[in-house]
Structure 1
Amino acid sequence: MNQNSLVPSQPSRPEWDAYLGAITRRLRLAVALKMPDPEAASALAEAFPDVVRGPLDVLAAHPQLSHLPPDLAQDIRSRDGDPDATLITGEDRPAVPVPVAWLLMAARLAATFRSAERFAEMTRAGAVALLRVPEVRDVANASLVIRRALLPEGQLIVRRPDILEHGVDQLVFLCPDTSDGQLSRSTTSQVTEWIAQSLATDRPVLILVPAALRLPETLRAVLPEPVDVRTVDRDILLATLRRSHSATGKIDEGAARSALPSDRALAMLSGVELGAGLREASAREVALRLAALARRNTAHVGQHGINGSGPAADAARRIAADLVDWSRNGLAWQDVTRSLLLYGPPGTGKSWLAKSLAVEADVPLVTGHFGAWQSRGHLGEMLAGMRETFEEAQRKAPCVLFIDEIDSVGSREGGERHNASYRRQVINAFLLELDGIAQVQGVVTVGACNNAAVIDPAVIRPGRFDLHVEVPMPDASGLMLVLRRHLGGEFPEAQLAELARRAVGQSMAELDANIRNLRSVCRSQRRVFSLDDLAQVLQRGHDPDLHWRVAIHECGHALVATALGRNDVTRVALSAAGGETMRTRLPAAGTVQDFDRELTILLAGRAAEVLVLGDPSAGSGGGRESDLAVASTLALSMHTQMGLGWHGPVWSDTSAEVALRDPHIRHKVRTSMEAAQGRARHILAARRLLLEGMARELVQHRELAGPDLEAWLAQVTCDDGTVAAAKEERAPGRNQTNTS
């Protein structure tokens, strides 16, 4: 073996390495002064090589020199040790070990300021400086290293402005108390107040805050731009390892560097992950552990980007393209759509779409979940979990931040008083996090929920969630993606396409689960999976009479909407839960005629059932999003809140549950809804043959969209005059235009 190979070539040190050396010596002195060891004098000598320079200092200054015989170096390497870091006596750690968290922060600060002179500029007389660290956990270590090793020896500091002494040269050094690893609202308020007071003095002020601390706009306007402490990269980590994992000031840097992940991957690791990696015995083992942790962060759930079509897929595709253009081609961040709210029934692929957006843009995915945050315990722990997710997104930018179950945040509106204080605090904290992450370039925020109507309006306003897109139950093309992912290459496309058509009505999650379950059954029965197995599963629960009723109901909605001039129907489909008619809600002036038209459309499904089948089913009722629930709310608000009904211009904030207990109001709402159902039946009676023909085709194909749907709706003659001709009695002198 070539003996020169036992001494790997060492790359040049970064220009700030000498500054880090001086910082480290001061930290070693701080540690040595607290050591009970009677031989502390020798430790102090090592801490101050400028006073006493030994042979190890020469070695550290000349990394290319070897200090061990080649055979001993090879023996250490064969036992996974690091000969460059090991003394001939066997020690491979410094005589005065400084906590590795201090050393890592020292290296980050040295890389940020690069020299003592540049740091001194921040604390000169009259200066005001704002220093920002990515994580709340960084504050304590940064504060300690600054006070013990960066500020000039003998520098007098005060931690709050109200204890400044007149005529004494003191530095005001402000940072929040994060001893419990959290950033409370009271702590934020206290620091904000101290900053305001400090700015009114003539003393130098150094402010250290985590990125999660949101200063008010009044302070941001007068403070200098923050200096962001460098995140960990390979140079910073290797400089730390030379001082933490070596008794000589050297490590096998070539081996460690080759094993380390990229700078970007290192920057995405949390403080906890870095700490876990730095526990390893040698620099190379540290590098290998960190590389494994980084692979877990950057691994995508799949190899495919955004497939399929529809408004949601199109919006996600545009955002992914913008994110790529921003990171690679210089697109201004202000021109990027950087927030998206996806809403729709469970299992429709909202989570999958967010993950696909991250894959398409080739960025990490950071996932937050209201259920997971709330499961941590009391309010403080829940908010800490929320904060950690947003901090992770900031650290990993550019990335996609996906927040699931966002409707769990609730709303501060309405009369519900139970847990109102808890809900208000959660919403306020969530708003702060959303506002903070909106300032971080490279983070696209995607929220997902089943029901956007129950979310506090402040949460989903533009600026927090710019784009709102419904994700309906998937059509045949969307279900085809699931079939291709599981069965592509095993079966002909034509057979898969037929199965996709028959699967319409299932969610992506349901179809995915059915296929996986069937494969498991086939394995247990020692037989080959076939498409007949899946076809039989899709046929379960098939009730021709029920499908005919649902088809009549949904086609009734579509035909009445078109007859009333609302050319906004985009899809009609059968589903496992019944059916759905998708509409793009066009803007309207908010007149009585507009609301009457909408009531008529909402009750058209029920009217169609009565017309064709003789009686209605419970299909119009059910939850808060059902036809009857939406129609009741709309009719009630016309009378009590919009100034368009029997109460005239009088407005009431009484909840629907309470208001409908009033017999008089309940009668007026019922009258409005029965009149709307009558109008719908009148429209459909004139088009009964068209209604039944369209319903038969819907039963056969399970969905109508695109040209197929347009062909049916093109046969509808507009009947806008119907609403005006079927006027219901109203109070005189009402205001007929919604001007709110």
Structure 2
Amino acid sequence: MADNDDYDDISVEEMDAIDAEVMRSKSSHRPPTQTLPELMIRLALMPGHLARLRRDRTTSMIIEAPSAEWVQPLMRAAKRLGEWTFAHAVSEPPRKSMNGMTISDQAILAMANGGRIIGVTQNLDYLPKAMTASADIRLKIDHPDDELLRQAIKMATGRYPRSMTAGISHGLDYSDICSAIRTGSTAKACVERLVAASKAKSEASPGLEDVPPVEELFGYGEELEGWAKALISDIDAWRAGKLDFSAIQRTAVLASEPGLGKTTFARSLAKSAGIPFFPTSVSQWFSNSAGYLDSIIKQIDEVFAAAAAVAPAMIFLDECEGIPSRANADRHSSWWIPVVGHMLLKLDSATSGDSSKLIVVGATNHPEKLDAALVRPGRLSKIIHIRKPDATALAGIIRQHLGKDLPDADLEVVAKLGVGASGADVHDWVKSARLAARQQNRSVTLQDLFNQVAPPDNRPPGLVRRIAVHEAAHAVVSHVLMPGSVDCVTTISRKPSEGGSTTMSLVAEDAIARRDIEHRAMVLLAGRCGEEVLLNSVSSGAGGGETSDLAQATYMLALVHTSLGLGDRLLHRSSPQEVKQLLTLDPVLAKTVEEDLQRLYANTLEIVRDNATVVERVAEALLKQRHLTGDQFVAICRRAERTGTVKLLGGSNG
């Protein structure tokens, strides 16, 4: 500061003239590539360390660098402190040596022979254990602070900067800082370049400009919206100096079916919080590397280091079920164990140390596949489920995607038609509606949107009637067993492989009774029963993949006997993930589940026969309208009851 005292009364023009003169004199100026690493090491060295280095020729020293970029520069600076028998700088995980003397062997030999050794790394696990365990001097070097930068600018330009923003190098690494501080430049210009570089590094990721703030999103549910609101509020409080960052609940996993906007929500959250966004995934680790164990670990390190450098920042771990659970061991698990362990350490560091200002958000379509250690408290401790949006939320999502199009349109009807769809479906609807309008050289209309949500049905009439009966039976049996559960019934196909769908709201309870499970299984079996009763034949519509009616009912009932303790035995035999395999391997279990399915199917048939008239009426309404809201469906049921043609009660259903 003293160097500036003589210039307090000098005008800006005069100071610029002095700076210009400084620019013409380069001979005594030193670049930051030399001065910064030296200054950082000398600041970290205690007087006792210097004395020991002068008198003791057998001293061993290790330096922990602030990032990988600083490893080699710090090693070059450390070598100028004296002569070293053995020096090792490493910035990535070491590979196993198949032959010859290893680095560890060389270090041990040098120490045993009384030599002086030094190791530099950003991760102490990369150094041989022999070096870290017996080091006489340990230095942990932090990123250069403002005073060190002032000194480096002075040594490069001949002048201290007149003023400098606090934390000017936030988010900058070695190359960024050294590129900004230049010999032959002025102190003012160096500061301006540092400010510009820090601003560029701290800006949100490209593409977030078009993402709406989280406050304008729809259909994510109270739990997720509440968590996001609290996170944003806490970050604001931290910035204002009112809250310690360690008090912020800042890790979670977003779980849902595909297409429900997990990535969009995470991006919007980063935008609203005003923090950089770092997306990553297991597939990205493999695509960006050779796929070897050390390169995968390096990918993990790089994303955490990059985010930590500009923290607070968000790491978005997409498809986190790609990190396999160690509980489901197979022949590949031994390869993954080090990766899982390393990720767990990184998540631990996200709440302390250099990475203490990271927000880590995971996303998965299969929360049941996550390693238990990954989602324990202190790591990705909160799993938040995202459900499909209801009609109100869907209207908001449609409005969001429409933007300036159809500003005065009432979207309620089209939203009700679309219940059961996802945000990704809405995106496709709007995109296709705009395409149809462009092809006819006109503005988009509400009819264009209707045509996407409910495209013309070109399926054979017999197939459409079967689908209507199938869905009507689902809805009626659900209404009998769980009154008020039906949200909508539709024969509108979202995908070519789909028939129709019945959407229900089921009360989620922490503890569920066997009767509840059996009722849900009966609702799943009802579509097939409807076909048998009203059409005198059944189709393959209830079967198919893992999400089919029969598959869901089968796995649900298998859990009763294997893991929920609701069958004839208390023995816990498998996790939910393993039950499918157990059904294949255990014929006794398969026979028990088949007997349950047959019993519940017979009970469901009785309900459908008792209520065949109302099933027929719902099916007829679907053939005319293609879509029924929950209120419309209930109205049909009530009219049937008032006319006395049906009594909405099942037979022996439990």
| TM score, norm. by length of structure 2 | 0.72
Cα offset for 1:519? 4.0
Identify which of 367, 373, 384 aligns with 2:279: 367
For residues 713-732 of structure 1, what are the structure 2 equivalents within 5 Å?
Answer: none
**CA distance change for structure 1 residues 275 and 633 in 2, over 3 Å: closer, same or farther?**
farther
Q: Note if contact 1:549-1:609 (Cα within 8 Å) is conserved in structure 2.
A: yes
Equivalence for 1:346:
258
Q: Aligned in 2, Cα 1:395/1:503: closer, same or farther, shift over 3 Å?
A: same
Structure 2 gap segments, 5+ residues each: 89-103, 642-646
* Cα distance between partner residues in 2 of 1:674 and 1:204: 75
Q: What's the RMSD between the two structures over aligned residues?
A: 5.2
1:601-622, Cα deviation, whole Å (9 max, x unpaired): 5545554555556555545444
Match for residue 671 of structure 1 among 592, 595, 607: 595
Contact kept in structure 1, 2:614 and 2:637, CA below 8 Å: no
1:267 aligns with 2:170: yes
Q: Which amino acid aligns with 1:426?
A: V
Structure 2 distance, partners of 1:290, 1:135, is: 18
Which of 243, 246, 264 aligns to 2:155? It is 243
In structure 2, the CA distance between the partners of 1:158 and 1:532, relative to structure 1 (3 Å rule), is closer
Counterparts of residues 161-240 of structure 1 (less than 5 Å) = 175-176=120-121, 187=126, 190-191=128-129, 195=132, 197-198=133-134, 204-208=136-140, 229-230=142-143, 236-237=148-149, 239-240=151-152
For the 8 Å contact 1:573–1:702, the answer to whether it is kept is: yes
**Structure 1 position 546, deviation (Å):** 7.3
Instruction: State how far apart, in whole Å, the 1-side matches of 2:7 and 2:20 are.
Output: 12
Q: Given the superposition, is the C-alpha separation of residues 710 and 281 from structure 1 closer, same or farther in structure 2, using an over 3 Å criterion?
A: farther
Give secondary structure in 1 for the equivalent of 2:509: coil
- Paired residue for 2:214, among 290, 296, 305? 305
Q: Per-residue CA shift, 1:280-329, capped at 9, x if unaligned?
A: 99545744761563364466433523332524333333333343344436
Equivalent AA in structure 2 for residue 456 of structure 1: D
Contact 2:277 2:313 in 1 (8 A): yes
Q: CA deviation at 1:455?
A: 2.6
Q: Counterpart amino acid of 1:391? A: A
Distance in 1 (CA, whole Å) between partners of 2:254 and 2:437 is: 36
Residue 510 of structure 2 aligns to a residue in which SS? Answer: coil
1:206 is displaced (CA, Å) by: 1.2
Q: For residue 340 of structure 1, report the CA deviation from its aligned partner.
A: 1.6
Superposition deviation, residue 341 in structure 1: 1.3
Match of 2:453 in 1: 538
After the TM superposition, which of the residue ranges 315-324 and 598-607 deviates more from structure 2? 598-607
Structure 1 residue 385, shift from structure 2 partner: 1.5
Check if 1:293 corresponds to 2:200. Answer: yes
Equivalent residue for 2:341, pick from 428, 431, 454: 428
Q: Give the drift of 1:500.
A: 3.4
Question: Which of 551, 556, 569 is 1:629 aligned to?
Answer: 551
Corresponding residue number in structure 2 for 1:215? none
Does residue 408 of the first structure (1) align with residue 322 of the second (2)?
yes
1:272–1:166 Cα change, 3 Å = closer
Instruction: Look up the match of 2:95.
Output: none
Q: Deviations over 1:566-608 (max 9, x none)?
A: x9x5955767255344545312267x55654554455455545
Match of 1:52 in 2: none
CA distance in 1, matches of 2:251, 2:66: 22
Partners in 2 of 1:119 and 1:573 — Cα distance?
77
What is the 5 A alignment of 1:153-164?
none
CA distance in 1, matches of 2:252, 2:471: 32
Q: Is the 8 A contact 2:560 2:567 kept in 1?
A: yes
| Structure 2 partner of 1:141 | 73
Judging changes above 3 Å, is the alpha-carbon distance between structure 1 residues 545 and 721 closer, same or farther for their aligned structure 2 residues? closer
Return the alpha-carbon distance in structure 2 between the equivalents of residues 137 and 560 of structure 1. 67
- Mapped pair 1:447 → 2:362: yes
Alignment of 1:523-562 (within 5 A): 526-540=441-455, 542=457, 545=465, 548=468, 551-552=471-472, 555=475, 558-559=478-479, 562=482
Which amino acid letter does the alignment assign opposite residue 324 of structure 2? G
Distance 2:227 2:574 in 1: 38
Q: Is the alpha carbon distance of 1:266 and 1:615 closer, same or farther for their aligned partners in structure 2, counting shifts above 3 Å?
A: farther
Aligned to 2:20: 83
| Aligned counterparts, 1:317-716, within 5 A | 317-328=229-240, 330-331=242-243, 335-376=247-288, 377-379=290-292, 380-414=294-328, 416-417=330-331, 419-439=332-352, 440-516=355-431, 518-519=433-434, 522=437, 526-540=441-455, 542=457, 545=465, 548=468, 551-552=471-472, 555=475, 558-559=478-479, 562=482, 576=494, 578-579=500-501, 580-588=503-511, 596-597=518-519, 599-600=521-522, 602-604=524-526, 606-607=528-529, 610=532, 618-639=540-561, 649=571, 651=573, 656-657=580-581, 659-660=583-584, 663-683=587-607
Equivalent residues of 2:85, 2:110 under 8 A apart: no
Secondary structure of the corresponding residue to residue 469 of structure 1: strand
Partner Cα distance (1:270, 1:557) in 2: 64
Q: CA deviation at 1:667?
A: 2.7
AA aligned opposite 2:314: V
Mean alpha-carbon deviation: is it higher for 481-490 or for 274-283? 274-283
> What fraction of aligned residue pairs are identical, expressed as a percent?
20
Q: How many residues align?
A: 598
Stretches of structure 1 that go unaligned for 5 or more consecutive residues are 1-11, 14-58, 209-227, 727-740
Give the drift of 1:630. 3.7
